[in-house]
């Protein structure tokens, strides 16, 4: 994996209802961070316009819509997302091998048609809000969360995907099963000075970096801070101390 700048490894989750709110946050953060996650809440409100605005500001975008449907439908979604210029998108590993394979193939073909760099296509393994009781008794998957995550990670790798979204708690096992170059994108990151909110399987930024995370996704500890730019700088400093 290429040597990325520290700021390229931290995505801020723009979980807002309105585009003006999201763009105000981008303006507040300025050059401190230039990589953002756009999820369902914002994208379903604004559509592709928010991506156009972020790209116009020179930002990278992780489109977090978690595609999960029949293979042909997901391939079409991946093609459309690639045409919007996103740098990363995700699918649900629970959709199976063929669905994931078609998503990656469609994104590569769409990028090649325009001469663009293909986006990373990664798979969601288990949400960071899912604990073992929920997974076993409600979702109906037996065994430990870690075992389920590793099974999905290996399936995603076999399908040709670039990496996975997972809790930092499963990072060492993912690296052992899939290798150090298999991209790991870690949400549920909470600095010691921030509240856990609805996340159950969380790590601090430093702990995630020590475990080998490639990218971190952080929302409320930055976007709900009294001074978002200062919060972002503190997190970057914590990440940097581990890598120095």
Q: What is the enclosing helix (H) or strand (E) of 112?
A: helix 97-114
* In-domain check, residue 168: yes
199 annotated among ligand-binding-site residues: yes
Given 45, 66, 154, 200, the catalytic residue: 66
Please say if 69 is a catalytic residue: yes
pLDDT tens track for 124-163: 998 878 889 999 999 999 999 999 999 999 999 999 999 9
pLDDT at 3 over 50: no
150 annotated among ligand-binding-site residues: no
143 annotated among ligand-binding-site residues: no
141 annotated among ligand-binding-site residues: no
Q: What are phi and psi of 12, to 5 degrees?
A: -95, 125
| CATH code at position 215 | 3.20.20.70
Tokens 């990373």 -> residue: 120
Q: What is the enclosing helix (H) or strand (E) of 38?
A: strand 35-39
Calpha distance 203→242 (Å, rounded): 14
Pick from 232, 228, 231, 233: nearest CA to 25: 228
* In-domain check, residue 1: no
Residue 62: strand pairing partners: 37, 88
73 annotated among ligand-binding-site residues: yes
Please say if 17 is a catalytic residue: no
- Counting residues of the chain whose pLDDT is more than 70, the rounded percentage is 94
Q: What pLDDT shows up at residue 202?
A: 67
DSSP 8-state code for residue 136: I
pLDDT tens track for 155-203: 999 999 999 998 888 999 999 999 999 999 999 888 877 664 544 556 8
pLDDT tens track for 15-34: 999 999 999 999 999 999 99
Q: What angle do CA 122, 123, 128 make, to 5 degrees?
A: 115
162 annotated among ligand-binding-site residues: no
Q: Which residue has the higher pLDDT, 1 or 119?
A: 119
Q: What pLDDT shows up at residue 128?
A: 75
Tokens 């790590």 -> residue: 203
46 annotated among ligand-binding-site residues: no
User: Contact at 8 Å (CB) between 129 and 198?
Assistant: yes
Given 20, 27, 69, 162, the catalytic residue: 69
Number of domains in the chain: 1
68 annotated among ligand-binding-site residues: yes
Please say if 66 is a catalytic residue: yes
Q: What pLDDT shows up at residue 194?
A: 62
* In-domain check, residue 235: yes
Residue 216: strand pairing partners: 10, 186
Q: Which residue has the higher pLDDT, 42 or 244?
A: 42
* In-domain check, residue 30: yes
Name the token pair of 104: 């990656």
How far CA 202 is from CA of 80, 94, 225, in Å, comes to: 32, 22, 18
Domain that holds residue 200: 6-243
* In-domain check, residue 154: yes
| Local structure of 17: helix, strand or coil | coil
Q: What pLDDT shows up at residue 152?
A: 96
Calpha distance 119→81 (Å, rounded): 9
Q: What is the mean pLDDT of residues 89-114?
A: 97
Given 60, 64, 79, 104, the catalytic residue: 64
């Amino acid at each position: 994996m290429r040597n990325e700048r520290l700021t390229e490894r931290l995505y801020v989750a723009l979980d807002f209802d309105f585009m003006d709110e999201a763009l105000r946050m981008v303006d507040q953060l300025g050059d401190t961070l230039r990589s953002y996650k756009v999820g369902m809440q914002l994208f379903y409100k604004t559509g592709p316009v928010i991506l156009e605005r972020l790209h116009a500001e020179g930002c990278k975008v992780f489109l977090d819509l978690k595609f999960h449907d029949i293979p042909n439908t997901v391939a079409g979604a991946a093609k459309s997302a690639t045409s919007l210029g996103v740098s990363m998108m995700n699918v649900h590993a629970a959709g199976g091998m063929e669905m994931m394979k078609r998503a990656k193939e469609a994104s590569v073909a769409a990028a090649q048609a325009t001469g663009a760099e293909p986006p990373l296509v990664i798979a969601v393994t288990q949400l960071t809000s899912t604990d073992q009781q929920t997974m076993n008794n409600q979702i109906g998957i037996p065994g430990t969360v870690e075992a389920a995550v590793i099974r999905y990670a290996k399936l995603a790798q076999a399908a040709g995907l670039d990496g996975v979204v997972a809790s930092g708690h499963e990072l060492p096992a993912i690296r052992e099963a899939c290798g150090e170059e298999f991209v790991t994108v870690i949400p549920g990151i909470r600095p010691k000075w921030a509240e856990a909110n609805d996340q159950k399987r969380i790590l601090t930024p430093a702990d995630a970096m020590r475990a080998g995370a490639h990218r971190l996704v952080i929302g409320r500890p930055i976007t709900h801070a009294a001074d978002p730019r200062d919060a972002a700088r503190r997190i970057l400093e914590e990440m940097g101390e581990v890598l120095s």
